[in-house]
Amino acid sequence: MMTSTSETPLRPAQASPGEALIQMRQLRKVYRKRNEEFLAVSDVSMDIHEGDMVSLVGPSGCGKSTLLKILAGLHEHDGGTLQIGGPNNVFNPGRDVGMVFQQPVLLKWRTILDNVLLPADILGLNKKAATARAHELLDMVGLTGFADKLPYELSGGMQQRAAIARALIHDPKLVLMDEPFGALDALTREKMNLEMLRIWGETKKTFVVVTHSIQEAVFLGTHCAVLTAGPARMADFFAIDLPTPRHLLLKTQNEFGEYVRRIYDLLGVD
Ligand SMILES: Nc1ncnc2c1ncn2[C@@H]1O[C@H](COP(=O)(O)OP(=O)(O)O)[C@@H](O)[C@H]1O
Ligand SMILES: [Mg+2]
């Protein structure tokens, strides 16, 4: 369980039944520099259940990365409450979070296999079991046969898939992705969206993925949190009730367009 500073009323969020893995209530984050204060996240409340795929969408600077860093235990929040892992569970971000960034950030002198093994090395997991798992994960992300390659021998999309395998090696409860496909071309990005949904389906883990693409947020999410900038705040949190597994043609359907439009309205785009 993480810090809890005050009891605040429950904001209505259309969450699935059962106990939430993550409970946020009026979460607030202020960055302080000398005498200046900057409100980066204000009044963010949501419930995330095990197995959810939550997309966080909003314009640049609205606090998406800040929120993800709070979930990853890299930043403290200044107000509201955050409970991860349920009231009786201990949540250890180092062990229980897998993180994927916009750039794959692979170590260029380590092979793909050794890059995937990095969190296992840091956590001191059994090498033999971790290596077997790394090979399974490389198969799962479509990198069979690339274990002994160095990062520069792989394309950007393949490197990002290695980064996803690395985020899963220590079997985390929660996978956090910060604009993971922002650096990829449009077609590779669409393919990676499908890959990611398949991986999410196979691992049955809880994913939170940050994107500034409204279409991507709707396509990926079982739930979507919409954040706005100036002032930074949460505009809405809702379930995305679209058929699964998702196919790219879903993007041509009216029901998909209705969710996209709902987010456009929230963000004041017309
Ligand atoms: N370490 C920091 N110190 C001060 N301000 C920050 C820091 N990190 C982010 N900010 C500011 O907080 C706001 C939200 O940033 P961020 O969470 O990175 O937004 P996003 O990921 O949605 O683009 C931005 O205005 C940014 O300039
Ligand atoms: Mg960001």
Q: How far apart are CA 245 and CA 82, in angstroms?
A: 31
Helix 127-140 to helix 156-168 angle (10° resolution) is 140
| 1-6+20-87+214-270 has CATH 3.40.50.300 classification | yes
**Closest atom, ligand 1, to C-alpha of 67:** 17
Sign of CA dihedral 266, 187, 183, 150: positive
Q: Ligand 1 pocket test: which of 30, 44, 65 has the largest number of ligand atoms within 8 Å of its C-beta?
A: 65
Q: How far apart are CA 74 and CA 144, in angstroms?
A: 33
Nearest CA-CA partner of 179 in 199, 202, 151, 209: 209
Nearest CA-CA partner of 15 in 237, 164, 244: 237
pLDDT of residue 2: 43
pLDDT of residue 133: 95
For 150, half-sphere exposure in the C-beta direction (CA atoms, 13 angstrom radius) is: 5
**Closest atom, ligand 1, to C-alpha of 58:** 22
The residues lining ligand 1, judged by C-beta closer than 6 Å to any ligand atom, are 31, 33, 38, 40, 58, 60-66
**Closest atom, ligand 1, to C-alpha of 64:** 22
Q: Which positions ≥6 away from 13 have C-beta within 8 Å?
A: 45, 46, 47, 237, 238
| DSSP assignment string, 19-58 | --SEEEEEEEEEEEETTEEEEEEEEEEEEE-TT-EEEEE-
Angle at alpha carbon of residue 249, lines to 245 and 251, rounded to 5°: 95
Closest Cα to atom 4 of ligand 1: 31
214 CA to middle of ligand 1, Å? Answer: 20
Q: Ligand 1 pocket test: which of 36, 38, 68, 211 has the largest number of ligand atoms within 8 Å of its C-beta?
A: 38
135 CA to middle of ligand 2, Å? Answer: 31
64 CA to middle of ligand 1, Å? Answer: 8
68 CA to middle of ligand 1, Å? Answer: 11
3-state helix, strand, coil in the chain (%, to 5): 35, 25, 40
- Residuewise pLDDT in 10s, the chain (270 residues): 444 443 333 333 333 456 799 999 999 999 998 889 999 999 999 999 999 999 999 999 999 999 999 999 999 999 999 999 866 667 888 899 999 998 999 999 999 999 999 999 999 999 999 999 999 999 988 999 999 999 999 999 999 999 999 999 999 999 999 999 888 888 888 988 998 999 999 988 999 999 999 999 999 999 999 999 877 799 999 999 999 899 999 999 999 999 999 999 999 876
79 CA to middle of ligand 1, Å? Answer: 17
pLDDT of residue 191: 87
